[in-house]
Structure 1
Amino acid sequence: MADSALVIGGTRFIGRHVVEELREHDYEVTMLNRGNHENPFAGADDVTHVEGDRTDDTDLRTAKLSAEPDVVIDCIAYYPADVEAAVDVFADVDGYVYISSGDAYGAEEIPKREGETELRPCTAEQATDESHDTYGNRKAEGDRVVFEAAAEGVNAMAVRPCIVYGPHDYTERLDYWIDRVANCDRVVVPGDGQNVWHRAYVEDVASALRVVAERGEPGEAYNVGDRQLVTLEEMVELIADVLDTDCEVVPAGADALASGSLEPDDFVLYRDYPHVLDTCKLAALGWESTPIEEAMHRTAVDHLESDRDGSEHDPGRQAEERVLGVLDTL
């Protein structure tokens, strides 16, 4: 009999790839979500959809009864209360895996290591706040809920991805850069182009979640990210390579950007201080990452086949042209 998995979420980005990963490893998969998004697995014999709200304990228990899961992958636990409910309902499964975040870390150090790097605090007010400013605090508190549950005998673990990219990415963060490279022969990158913000290919995040569910230690957290890191400039050059196009990367410091009324933070995926996660603990479980050339190729192909352009992150091409004009006079 095939193992059974319950995915809380499962239709949009990370969850969609988790379902695919589990299917490829012969799991019978049940998804629990509200049904607000198109189900890419409608009609699949090995995927069952249970409609429900993950914040409703009754819906969680109904999904558990339907799936009888060996493992549970929790893709949409955004508040500590979500995790508290889940570790109670799924206290007897073989593996409950909570998707945390690299943003749970509260100390800026290179690299950030599980069990060593300090996590963000979380006040009672932050635990229920809906703003993005408290996202990392809420994720860190979810980690602490997992640790406490494991101490009481629950097979609960956490996985901390950094910035996730890949096919079906509705955030469109990388889509902005792919669109720029595809349509412009000169692309402005902020600063000297050497800033590093660790990224994680979505299929690797999905495989990490499965591997941790199967082999992880209860009460542990595992970082996940590309095993090879690239700077922002190298990322743009990699995109150009996989698109087989010529593109000049033009670094622009704060003064040059100011000529276009821009700041470095106006560019998505820019981070002043490097954000790097140590992934050795995950690799020790047998997890491997996709070569970045292959990961970027799959991401770019999906972008070209979609209607995503990352325009919500666009700092404005006219502003960039003013910056390029100033740099050309230097």
Structure 2
Amino acid sequence: MDSVLIVGGTRFIGRHAVEEFLDHGYEVTLFTRGNRENPFADREGVEHVEGDRTNDSALELARERVDPDVVVDCVAYYPKDVRAATEIFADCDAYVYVSSGAAYGASVVPKREGETPLHDCSAEQATDDSWDSYGPRKAEGDRAVFAAAERGVRAMSVRPPVVYGPHDYTERFDYWVDRVLTHDRLVVPYTDLRHLVYVGDVASALRVVAEDGEAGAAYNVGDHTLPVLGEWVELLAAEVGTEVDVVRAGERELSAGDLEPADFPLYLDYPHVLDTHELESLGWTATPLSETVAATVEGHEDGAGREQGPDREAEERVLGVLETF
């Protein structure tokens, strides 16, 4: 396999996937609508085909122009997108769908491929664009991958939890980087174990699965260690060379600032842990946290994420109450 078509590729996961495949000798073509700046416009070995992935004719044209060995689908948000792509690219050596850990429909620890149940997906959810339907839609996309494999298509999926790293347009992790860079005393809500994954590791998982994955299989991808939120803050502080007083707070304390735990980015009130042994069996390994945190801090832009969580005034009110205890 020496050519890859990346559906998406200019924003976050897709952008890192481009770098991953280039680093391993692939010729890369992006398929996007062209609505965003292409960071690879002048990059040797990267071509661009413009089109809307929801338009089957546009995907078919991309197939004819590129004739890719591998297709990596980063922007399939609806089950119909996956069904169409697995039909159009049925003759490719590999089709890899970016699914999500949110596809799992049970709060067990850890969540395992082929064992932990997936969300059901109603007809209404399959076309809905709200966050509430995100997990069901991704699960139905996985089922489309499984069905394609039964037809003889070498289709597979990769399931990441929350992804962090450079170029993250959600800026959820950036909120905490910004806080560590600008304040020495931070409110952190009590939270449960939440699996995260570095974006570069998602990109390498996509390549490894394309090369060595089994048709019809789904592969979890995640960091090898599971810091809770306060420990992430401490890792960030160590990386930037500062000391931060992590002040943990529950619902009662947060109410002083009219806040709830869910107001804080990356908060989760139940454990979300993915088993990654299936992916590791293909030879994949996660990057050490010391390296992922360093790369994320280096890629942080000044002020990014600041508006993604509570403002400092509300946080100060909570800190003021906690000082009286």
TM-score greater than 0.5 by the shorter chain: yes
Query: Are positions 1:228 and 2:225 aligned together?
Result: yes
Aligned counterparts of 1:309 and 1:152: Cα–Cα separation in 2: 45
Number of equivalent positions: 325
- The 8 Å contact of residues 33 and 54 in structure 1, kept in 2 or not, is answered as yes
Distance (Å, rounded) in 1 between the aligned partners of 2:288 and 2:34: 34
Instruction: Give me the TM-score of the superposition, normalised by structure 1.
Output: 0.97
Distance 2:100 2:303 in 1: 24
Which residue matches 1:268? 265
Q: How does 1:1-330 map to 2 (within 5 A)?
A: 3-191=2-190, 195-303=192-300, 306-330=301-325
Q: Distance in 2 between matches of 1:88 and 1:136?
A: 23
**Paired amino acid for 1:327:** L
For 2:257, what is the secondary structure of its paired residue? Answer: coil
Shift of 1:314: 2.2
The CA deviation at 1:260 is 1.1
Q: Which SS does the other structure have where 2:47 is aligned?
A: strand
CA distance in 2, matches of 1:77, 1:308: 30
Deviation at 1:312, TM superposition (A): 2.9
Asked if the contact 2:178/2:302 (under 8 Å) is kept, the reply is no
Opposite residue 147 of structure 1, the aligned amino acid is F
How far 1:313 sits from its partner (Å)?
Answer: 1.4
Counterpart of 2:309, as a letter, is: D
Instruction: Please list every run of 5 or more consecutive structure 2 residues that lacks an aligned counterpart in the other structure.
Output: none
CA contact (8 A) 1:3 1:70 kept: yes
Supply the distance in 1 between the matched residues of 2:287 and 2:240 (Cα, whole angstroms).
Answer: 18
Contact 1:172 1:308 in 2 (8 A): no
Deviations 1:121-145 (A, max 9, x none): 0000100001111011100000000
Equivalent position amino acid for 2:320 in 1: G
Q: Which amino acid aligns with 2:113?
A: E
Name the TM-score, length of structure 2 as normaliser.
Answer: 0.98
Tell me, in whole angstroms, the C-alpha distance in 1 between the residues paired with 2:178 and 2:219.
Answer: 32
Q: Distance in 2 between matches of 1:98 and 1:257?
A: 39
Q: How far is the alpha carbon of 1:50 from its aligned partner?
A: 0.3
Matches of 2:309 and 2:68 in 1, distance apart? 43
Shift in CA distance, 11/231, structure 1 to aligned 2, threshold 3 Å: same
Whole-angstrom CA distance in 2 between matches of 1:314 and 1:160: 26
Shift of 1:86: 0.2
Partner SS for 2:63? helix
3-state SS of the aligned residue for 1:222? strand
Cα distance in 2 for partners of 1:66, 1:146 equals 24
Question: Which letter maps to 2:169?
Answer: Y
Report the CA distance shift for 1:72/1:131 in structure 2 as closer, same or farther (over 3 A). same
Structure 2 residue matching 1:58: 3-state secondary structure: helix
Cα separation, 1, equivalents of 2:51 and 2:282: 33
CA drift at 1:308: 4.8
Contact kept in structure 2, 1:8 and 1:75, CA below 8 Å: yes
User: Structure 1, residues 48-107: CA drift from partner, whole Å, max 9, x if none?
Assistant: 100000011111111111211111000000000000100000001111000000000000
